[in-house]
């Protein structure tokens, strides 16, 4: 029995050449290019001047960049709580025995995540609009006209307001992922818990939650990665305004590079986005691994390690004796 | 005996529990319908509002149209200057070509990486896997620089390059995992029958891999149709605008005419909405598979 199929080398090379070349050209070459241009003062014209680490020095003290970074982090946290939290509750409700028409809820709930972020942005712009918007319309109908605002012009509120469409759009996405995980839990487990008198909330906390832990981790990772690259909605709804109060990293990079045509500093920001996004994603992984393995597991792992160590020492000692 | 006792306890049908159960049913279903309707409501709002005239809409934004009119649609579809239909065509072309390329390339590379033993196998696998980690928005500026320097911007094929490349890591990963689950006997039998590598690849493996390739295609149809940021920086020629760009242009032009904007949005959303509601079950299944395995 052959372990793998053995075609001629040139056949493999011929099949792989184009995909690999394409991939390197559009993914890795730009990374190198960004790093290269980040050392230049370059406004897009023919003149480029090497300026060492000046761009990076500017980046480190650039308040707008760091505030956009924190806006990204804000989005990540709000969306983890909002998207995955609400999705989890909806999943529990959909899975309860008394629910009818589960398929319709799933289809409707997932619908917003199939629409382009640009459309979502426009829809919510219409909702927030001050004169013809739905939000102010409802406030008027319930007689609270004093609360009406030009919503997207409020620097203190705008981050929350732009995160609501993001949350709304992707609840359904996390809902279907969690739903597939929950439906793979055997009904026997849940039924026996019910017979033993566990309430719905207890079942959710002590049976469902631990059993879908891995899927939850996937969801959180997707959520972190997704919100570090927030761009489309914000470009459409506020372009980072008013002022810089809803600026996110990708939006700032775009503004600097294409509206101020400062491509050198823009490349530097790109490198910054690359490093920070990877750091946040990696950091969140480490945090999750720490919190998700409970103290019992950690003690267990430590214990096993010690046993293994002793065993190895014993083997070594025996070999030495021989 | 004890078991029977418990069974009767669970199926307790006294009036109190029945009322409790009834209330619970109403509350849970109410919340779910509330959730579902908020998800779908904007679509309905846009649908019936697009049948109003601007003047009527501005008077009352919520009411149903008393005299529904298709004027917004006919205006958009008949006026060539809006270029909206052109953008739908561009998006359709870009999406179809990208998805085809993604499926073919992911199939070939995924298969080779999972079955053929050669020196670059591991490095290539790691290279493609790393692509899943790279935050693509950090590539916007350098891709713009490279593409405009090499004259690759503003062509009908421009967007295929990033769309295909960015989709490859996850697609290859999915195919690779799937091929691992196929027994090698298939290829061995083919080899004994004298089938060449390429013949086996396309004649025997391709049909077996159909389910995963459909999943790959579904995931990428949506992302290609909806992609905005790279289209924004790489396409400046209005004749080549994709749907999100066309919409942005259109709404800028008619920022105060909401019914018209809604009609435009619905026209550009139509293909994807029809596709979604026709195949929602398979689409949701595919998206879940892509998210969980990828």
Do residues B229 and B163 lie in contact, with contact meaning Cβ atoms separated by under 8 Å? Answer: no
**Longest distance between any two alpha carbons in chain B, whole Å:** 83
Q: Calculate the CA dihedral of residues A222, A224, A228, A229 and round it to 10 degrees.
A: 10
Scanning B205-244 for CB atoms below 8 A from A yields 222, 225-229, 232-233, 243-244
Distances (CA, A) of B123 to A238, B15, B118, B119, B129: 43, 68, 10, 8, 10
Residue A181 falls inside a structural domain: yes
Report the percentage of chain B scoring pLDDT > 70. Answer: 95
For A35-42, the CB contacts below 8 A with 24+ separation are A35/A267, A35/A271, A36/A267, A37/A263, A37/A264, A37/A267, A37/B142, A37/B145, A38/A264, A38/A267, A38/A268, A38/A270, A38/A271, A39/A264, A40/A264, A40/A267, A41/A264, A42/A262, A42/A263, A42/A264
Closest CA to A154 of A179, A135, A173, A175: A135
pLDDT value of position B1: 39
Task: Mean pLDDT check: name the lowest of A203-217, A223-237, A249-263.
Answer: A203-217
What is the H or E stretch that residue B50 is in? none
pLDDT value of position A3: 47
Closest CA to B272 of B283, B286, B262: B283
Scanning A227-246 for CB atoms below 8 A from B yields 228-229, 231-232, 235-236
- pLDDT above 60 (res A275): yes
Instruction: List the end-to-end C-alpha distance of chain A, in Å, as a whole number.
Output: 42
pLDDT value of position B294: 60
Residue A92 falls inside a structural domain: yes
Q: How many domains does chain A have?
A: 1
Contacts of A39 in chain B (CB under 8 A): none
Average pLDDT, stretch B100-119? 90
Report the percentage of chain A scoring pLDDT > 90. Answer: 17
Average pLDDT, stretch A263-282? 90
Residue A19 falls inside a structural domain: no
- pLDDT above 90 (res B105): yes
Contacts of A236 in chain B (CB under 8 A): 248
The tokens 């050198």 sit on which residue? A264
Higher model confidence: residue B1 or residue A31? Answer: A31
Scanning A41-70 for CB atoms below 8 A from B yields none
Q: How is residue A122 written in tokens?
A: 């426009």
Looking at the complex, does the CB of residue A16 fall below 8 Å from at least one CB of chain B?
Answer: yes
Residue A50 falls inside a structural domain: no
Average pLDDT, stretch B211-219? 90
Average pLDDT, stretch A196-201? 78
Residue of B43, B138, B188, B270 to mutate when probing chain A, most A C-beta within 10 A: B138
Average pLDDT, stretch B250-273? 85
Q: What's A257's DSSP letter?
A: I
Closest CA to B136 of A171, A232, A74: A232
Residue A287 falls inside a structural domain: no
pLDDT value of position B13: 59
Best mean pLDDT range from A40-54, A61-75, A84-98, A292-306? A61-75
C-alpha span between B26 and A286 (Å, rounded): 42
Higher model confidence: residue B161 or residue B290? Answer: B161
pLDDT value of position B12: 53
Report the percentage of chain A scoring pLDDT > 70. Answer: 97
pLDDT value of position A57: 87
Average pLDDT, stretch A91-109? 83
What is the H or E stretch that residue A64 is in? helix A63-79
Looking at the complex, does the CB of residue A164 fall below 8 Å from at least one CB of chain B?
Answer: no
Q: What is the pTM of this model?
A: 0.84
Closest CA to A27 of B103, B147, B134: B134
Looking at the complex, does the CB of residue B254 fall below 8 Å from at least one CB of chain A?
Answer: no
DSSP assignments along B69-125, one per residue: --HHHHHHHH-GGG-HHHHHHHHHHHHHHHHHHHHHHHHHHHHHHHH---TTHHHHH
- pLDDT above 50 (res B3): no
Domain that holds residue A227: 65-247
- pLDDT above 50 (res B4): no
Q: How far is A295 from chain B (nearest CA, A)?
A: 27
Residue A139 falls inside a structural domain: yes
pLDDT value of position A21: 92
C-alpha span between B153 and A276 (Å, rounded): 28
- pLDDT above 90 (res B99): yes
pLDDT band at B2 (very low <50, low <70, confident <90, very high): very low
Residue A12 falls inside a structural domain: no
The tokens 């829809």 sit on which residue? A123
Q: How far is A129 from chain B (nearest CA, A)?
A: 10
The tokens 């990428």 sit on which residue? B220
C-alpha span between A56 and A269 (Å, rounded): 8
- Residues A285-300 pLDDT 10s: 888 888 776 666 777 7
C-alpha span between B187 and B206 (Å, rounded): 12
Looking at the complex, does the CB of residue A21 fall below 8 Å from at least one CB of chain B?
Answer: no
- Neighbour-count burial for B160-183, b at 16+ CB within 10 Å, e otherwise: bbbbbbbbbbbbbbbbbebbeebe
Residue A82 falls inside a structural domain: yes
Scanning B89-108 for CB atoms below 8 A from A yields 105, 108
Average pLDDT, stretch A17-34? 90
Find the angle CA(A29)-CA(B130)-CA(A26) to the nearest 5 degrees.
Answer: 25
Q: Report how many Cβ contacts below 8 Å link chain A to chain B.
A: 254
Cα dihedral B237, A247, B143, B131 sign = negative
What is the H or E stretch that residue A40 is in? strand A40-42
C-alpha span between B25 and B38 (Å, rounded): 20
CATH number, domain with residue A183: 1.10.3720.10
């Amino acid at each position: 029995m052959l372990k793998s199929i053995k075609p001629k080398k040139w056949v493999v090379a011929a099949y792989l050449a184009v995909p690999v070349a394409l991939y390197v050209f559009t993914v890795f070459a730009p990374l190198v290019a960004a790093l290269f241009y980040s050392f230049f003062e370059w406004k897009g014209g023919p003149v480029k001047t090497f300026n060492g680490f000046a761009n990076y020095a500017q980046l480190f003290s650039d308040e707008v960049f760091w505030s956009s970074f924190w806006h990204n982090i804000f989005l990540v946290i709000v969306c983890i709580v909002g998207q995955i939290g609400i999705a989890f509750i909806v999943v529990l409700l959909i899975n309860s025995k008394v629910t009818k028409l589960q398929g319709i809820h799933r289809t409707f709930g997932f619908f917003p995540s199939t629409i382009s972020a640009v459309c979502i942005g426009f829809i919510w712009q219409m909702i927030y609009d001050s004169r013809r918007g739905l939000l102010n319309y409802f406030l008027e109908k319930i007689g609270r006209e004093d609360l009406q605002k030009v919503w997207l012009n409020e620097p203190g509120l705008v981050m929350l307001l732009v995160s609501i469409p993001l949350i709304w759009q992707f609840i359904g996405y996390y809902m279907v992922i969690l739903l597939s995980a929950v439906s793979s839990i055997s009904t026997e487990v849940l039924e026996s818990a019910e017979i033993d008198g566990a309430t719905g909330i207890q079942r959710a906390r002590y049976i469902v939650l631990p059993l879908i832990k891995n899927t939850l981790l996937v969801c959180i990772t997707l959520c972190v990665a997704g919100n570090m690259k927030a761009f489309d909605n914000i470009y459409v709804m506020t372009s980072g305004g008013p002022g810089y109060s809803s600026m996110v990293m990708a939006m700032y990079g775009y503004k600097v590079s294409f509206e101020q045509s400062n491509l050198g500093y823009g490349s530097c920001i790109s490198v910054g986005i690359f490093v920070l996004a990877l750091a946040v994603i990696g950091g969140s992984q480490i945090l999750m691994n720490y919190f998700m393995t409970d103290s019992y597991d950690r003690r267990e792992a430590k214990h096993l390690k010690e046993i293994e160590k002793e065993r190895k020492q014993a083997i070594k000692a025996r070999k030495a004796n021989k | 005996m004890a078991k029977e006792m418990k069974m009767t306890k669970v199926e307790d049908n006294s009036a109190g529990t029945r009322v409790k159960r009834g209330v619970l049913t109403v509350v849970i279903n109410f919340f779910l319908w509330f959730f579902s309707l908020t998800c779908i409501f904007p679509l309905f709002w846009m649908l019936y509002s697009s049948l109003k005239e601007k003047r009527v809409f501005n008077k009352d934004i919520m009411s149903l149209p008393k005299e529904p009119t298709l004027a917004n649609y006919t205006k958009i579809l008949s006026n060539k200057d809006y270029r909206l239909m052109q953008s739908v065509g561009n998006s359709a072309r870009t999406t179809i070509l990208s998805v085809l390329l993604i499926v073919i390339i992911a199939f070939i590379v995924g298969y080779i990486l999972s079955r053929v033993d050669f020196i670059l196998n591991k490095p290539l696998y790691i290279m493609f896997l790393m692509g899943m980690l790279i935050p693509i928005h950090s590539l916007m500026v350098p891709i713009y620089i490279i593409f405009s320097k090499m004259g690759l911007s503003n062509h009908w094929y421009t967007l295929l390059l990033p769309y295909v490349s960015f989709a490859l890591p996850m697609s290859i990963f999915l195919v690779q995992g799937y091929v691992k689950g196929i027994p090698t006997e298939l290829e061995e039998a083919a080899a004994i029958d004298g089938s060449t590598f390429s013949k086996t690849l396309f004649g025997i493996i391709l049909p077996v891999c159909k389910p995963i390739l459909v999943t790959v295609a579904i995931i990428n149809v949506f992302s290609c149709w909806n992609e905005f940021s790279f289209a924004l920086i790489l396409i400046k020629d209005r004749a080549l605008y994709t749907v999100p760009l066309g919409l942005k242009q259109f709404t800028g032009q008619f920022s105060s005419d909401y019914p018209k904007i809604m009609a435009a949005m619905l026209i550009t959303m139509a293909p994807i909405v029809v596709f979604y509601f026709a195949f929602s079950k398979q689409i949701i299944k595919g998206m879940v598979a892509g998210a969980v395995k990828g």
